[in-house]
Amino acid sequence: MSTAASLLSRLPRGKQHADIKRLLERLDYLTAEQLDLVYKAYEFGAAAHEGQKRKSGEPYITHPVAVAGILADLHLDHQSICAALLHDVIEDTGHDKNSIAERFGIEVAEIVDGVSKLDQLHFKSRAEAQAESLRKMLLAVARDIRVILVKLADRLHNMRTLGHMPSEKRARIARETLEIYAPIANRLGIHEMCVELEDLGFRHLYPFRSRVLEKNLKKSIGNQRQMVRKILATINAAMEDAAIEGLVSGREKHLYSVFRKMRTKGRTLAEIVDVYGFRIVVGGVDECYRTLGVVHRLFKPMPGRFKDYIAIPRMNGYQSLHTTLFGPNGVPIEVQIRTADMDLLAEKGVASHWQYKTGDTGSSAHARAREWLQRMVEMQDAGSSEEFMESVRIDLFPDKVYVFTPRGDILRLPRGATVVDFAYAVHTDVGNRCVGGRVDRRQVPLHTPLRNGQTVEVVTSKGARPNPGWVNFVVTAKARSALRAYLKGLRESEAVSLGKRLLDKSLSDLSCSLRKVPRERLSATLQELGLATIKDLYSEIGLGKQLAPLVARRLVDDDMTPVTDVSDSPLAIAGTEGIVVTYARCCYPLPDDKIMGYLSAGRGLVIHRETCGNLIDYRKQPDKWIPVEWESRTDREFPAEIRVDVVNRMGVLAAVAANISGSQSNIENVQVVERDGDNSTLTFQVQVRDREHLASVIRGIRTMPEVLKVQRVCA
């Protein structure tokens, strides 16, 4: 009896265990001890997600089990499978990284933590939260590449079940999949996953176009069957005469790749589907080149359409011979020739022949993947999260340019790469000191795009500095990152100048100036703020990290302060010397929330949560924002908004409203925000005393069987 069968025989019967039983059957390559840990991870995850449901109405644990199943098909190790079963535990339940590490080991906990999304409360916008989540994930991947494999499997299952989401959310997730996750799968060489992610993303982002294309594609494939059989028979017979053993098959056309070719190459559907694709898998590299000769004798090759990815592999490790031929009646034939190992690598990429330890050198795909991920680590200081995301997006597109250094080494660069991109690819210092370039021994401008096979030489000068204008034409992430780092240094000098002006103005408002501030007072203030020099203070103010009015109050002695009583400590909301206080309706602050106050000419002091999206204006108007805090006791109620996803049933609105009233909370307003099939989303505006009272209201709603999800609405 196999290890999997032995464990299965001990499992309890019942429908709720069917999914894990099917998973364990697919994990028969693991040991009994490893399978036992996988089952414990399932039990832990099922208990943690107890009562939670997906949009489809299924128990939430079905999603982690499905993600683990995708990784099982790739034959990943037991730690990856455990992490897949637990990948949403940190984000969606009360368990933290330490509790997972105690039960399943630090490696599993690190993978789960890498996959988990960041808490969006600390970001100004959804876009920044999304970008920062991707940054965290990729940096975690640099430590352990299994993080990205779990994340890709998670995204693949979410895409398979995306039909239960509202149309607007479907479109957003599909676009993100096509722009980020499918290219990452391609970059790591996982072709199977990349193709499915692309096709699913295309279907959800462009549903009408995909239906029309799919219908016509099926029709054209049906019409081509006789021609495909004829070509297959011809190639098989020729290989048999040459004593070459191999498997010849017709290559499927994928929906999104057809759409992309139509759009980028300006071709009609008929022009694309009239190209016949074939794949030949043989025993060794020598046989690949012999087979190439066989097919070239059968059909005339098209000039300039041969690519040797065996001698020069793609950046993701992909190897194959590609050739395009004139087939029967002049129809184009595209042929790929590769070995069985190359074919496995082409389909599964870094997941083929699974090795993840740093000491393993058996897989070129792993080495190339680590090289790419290391560049991601180097880019993490390249400005904001959105800039990092854009750098990743640029770096994900397939490379098409192979150029040589003067010593004959090959560098792989993205299409459109320039001499400056080449210089930074050699080394950051070479890029920073670049003043000119020679391509094939001819002097060329630095913005010259490079082509395949060219030899590039960079001319440097010791005292040279990067030109800010290079940002307008470089295309590689490394070049953009280095240039942004240089420009950031320039911006800091501007921040010092701005900070000085802001502080001078704030001191002037207090009838003071920096010359009048005692040296001891200035030194004490710098020490309190953890700064070394007055220049550092100016920079902090100019960059928006310190508020000029607050710093000015710290610097002014009590006997120098005007009649208004200003305290060094943050203001309390109650007792603000007659200032009108209002509470922002964009983020609904509650006692115990961290808050900031905005001085508005028409509304007095407007209180916002620190996580409010409107604080994006903080850096634009630093003199208008001041820190405030709650009094220790408040004897009033505050408005708050909660969003409740429910199953559509008669009386469900009344039932939820009754539950809220039972929690000693008044309902000010309620509306149905959106409907999606059998589910609805309700938004309630309620009156609560503080965060603890709101949490009690949410807990009460969460216990209701018809409720799928409940959360506080944030700006």
Q: pLDDT tens-digit profile of 454-492?
A: 889 998 888 787 876 787 788 887 888 788 777 666 666
Q: What is the assigned CATH class of domain 3-207?
A: mainly alpha
CA-based R_g, the chain, Å: 31
Secondary structure, 3-state, 417-430: CEHHHHHHHHCHHH
Residue 327 in tokens: 């087939």
Confirm if 712 and 690 have CB atoms less than 8 A apart.
Answer: no
CATH architecture of 638-712: 2-Layer Sandwich (3.30)
Angle 146-160/191-205 helices, nearest 10 degrees?
Answer: 40
Reported as half-sphere exposure (CB side, CA atoms, 13 A), residue 469 has a value of 2
Q: pLDDT tens-digit profile of 277-294?
A: 899 999 899 999 999 999
| pLDDT over 80 at 619, yes or no | no
| pLDDT over 90 at 20, yes or no | no
**Mind giving me the DSSP string for 438-499?**
EETTEEE-TTPBP-TT-BEEEEE-TT----GGGGGT--SHHHHHHHHHHHHHHHHHHHHHHH
Q: pLDDT tens-digit profile of 655-674?
A: 888 888 888 888 888 887 66
Q: pLDDT tens-digit profile of 674-687?
A: 666 678 888 888 99
pLDDT score recorded for residue 383: 53
539 closest CA partner among 501, 496, 498:
496
| CATH 1.10.3210.10 domain extents, the chain | 3-207
- Name the residues annotated as catalytic: 91-92
| CATH 3.30.70.260 domain extents, the chain | 638-712
Confirm if 637 and 688 have CB atoms less than 8 A apart.
Answer: yes
pLDDT score recorded for residue 31: 85
Identify which has the larger pLDDT, 415 or 494.
415
List of long-range contacts for 405-408, beta carbons under 8 Å, 24+ apart: 405/455, 405/456, 405/457, 406/455, 406/457
Least-confidence region, from 139-143, 533-537, 580-584: 139-143
Task: Locate all alpha helices (DSSP H) within 510-575, ordered by sequence.
Answer: 519-528, 534-542, 548-555
pLDDT score recorded for residue 452: 78
Q: What is the assigned CATH class of domain 214-351?
A: alpha beta
Percent of the chain with pLDDT over 90: 13
Q: Show Cβ contacts of residue 621 under 8 Å, excluding neighbours closer than 6 positions.
A: none
314 closest CA partner among 268, 348, 365:
365
Q: pLDDT tens-digit profile of 504-562?
A: 877 887 788 888 888 888 888 888 888 888 888 887 776 666 767 778 877 875 444 43
**Mind giving me the DSSP string for 241-279?**
HTT--EEEEEPPPPHHHHHHHHHHH---HHHHHTSEEEE
Alpha carbon distance 220, 211 (integer Å) = 14
Percent of the chain with pLDDT over 70: 76
| CATH 3.30.460.10 domain extents, the chain | 214-351
User: What's the average model confidence in pLDDT over 288-304?
Assistant: 91
| pLDDT over 90 at 321, yes or no | yes
Give the helix, strand, coil percentages of the chain, each rounded to 5.
55, 15, 30
User: What's the average model confidence in pLDDT over 167-184?
Assistant: 85
Identify which has the larger pLDDT, 269 or 585.
585
- Within 10 A of 490 (CB to CB), how many other CB atoms are there? 10
Q: What is the pTM of this model?
A: 0.55
pLDDT score recorded for residue 715: 56
pLDDT score recorded for residue 409: 77
Q: pLDDT tens-digit profile of 38-82?
A: 989 998 988 888 888 888 888 888 899 999 999 988 888 899 999
pLDDT score recorded for residue 138: 62
pLDDT score recorded for residue 577: 42
Q: What is the mean pLDDT of the chain?
A: 78
- Which residues pair with residue 276 across a beta bridge? 333
Q: pLDDT tens-digit profile of 622-638?
A: 666 777 777 766 677 88
Query: To which H or E segment does residue 319 belong?
Result: none
605 closest CA partner among 625, 591, 631, 634:
625
User: What's the average model confidence in pLDDT over 322-344?
Assistant: 87
